[in-house]
Chain A
């Protein structure tokens, strides 16, 4: 089965850049998406198809995907960005696979 690996936690100071990675075999050959989840809420997509931002998502969120690693980058991180982040890719196009999630702390 296909696996995606994320760091359990990332810390960043307000105003700095946070990078969250997602690693999987030839992940760059698949589309990656990223989801933000705050406590008690449903996930929300923040990046889709590697680097596209849905309407309503701030420009400080960006993404890339190459080789075996997809990266979610948050520039000028704000306290409101503190949340859990999950990457998602599709195995054989039909089986969804989530990364284990990364807790982003803004301190």
Chain B
């Protein structure tokens, strides 16, 4: 069974940093691209960042470019999101999602982890 389990969400002050993790199981982790998708409370989905199966390409939404860094460790079946210079508008549930091998959709999602940026 494919599982994606996010962790690392917390309450953090504006300007602070946080690192999210996504632990994967039930599939060959190194065969798939992955993304982070966030959802502010009561709002819609926003794609945040994506990484290819081997990590050779990363992409970011304009709203986080230069502040967030996505990475992965295929030996540990783990995906990460380093978030720096956090802003109140970064407050959201952050989901880890697997990009299906055809590349055009997300076939599995984690349950999300909540990041709250507040003073």
Residues of A within 8 A of B104 (CB): 31, 33, 48-49, 90
B111-A96 in contact (CB<8A) = no
| Closest Cβ–Cβ distance, residue A99 to chain B (whole Å) | 8
B110-A94 in contact (CB<8A) = no
Q: Which of B24-32, B41-49, B72-80, B81-89 contacts A (4 or more CB under 8 A)?
A: B41-49
A67 to B57, CA, bound (A): 30
Residues of B within 8 A of A86 (CB): 44-45
Q: Report the count of interface residues on A (CB-CB < 8 A).
A: 25
A49 to B106, CA, bound (A): 11
Question: A97 near B: Cβ within 8 Å?
Answer: yes
Residues of B within 8 A of A1 (CB): 62
Digitize A79-104: 1 where CB-to-B-CB distance is under 8 Å, 0 elsewhere.
00000101010100111111111000
Interface residues of B (CB under 8 A from A): 35, 37, 44-47, 50, 57, 59, 61-62, 95, 100, 102-107, 109-112
Interface residues of A (CB under 8 A from B): 1, 31, 33, 35, 37, 42-45, 48-49, 54, 84, 86, 88, 90, 93-101
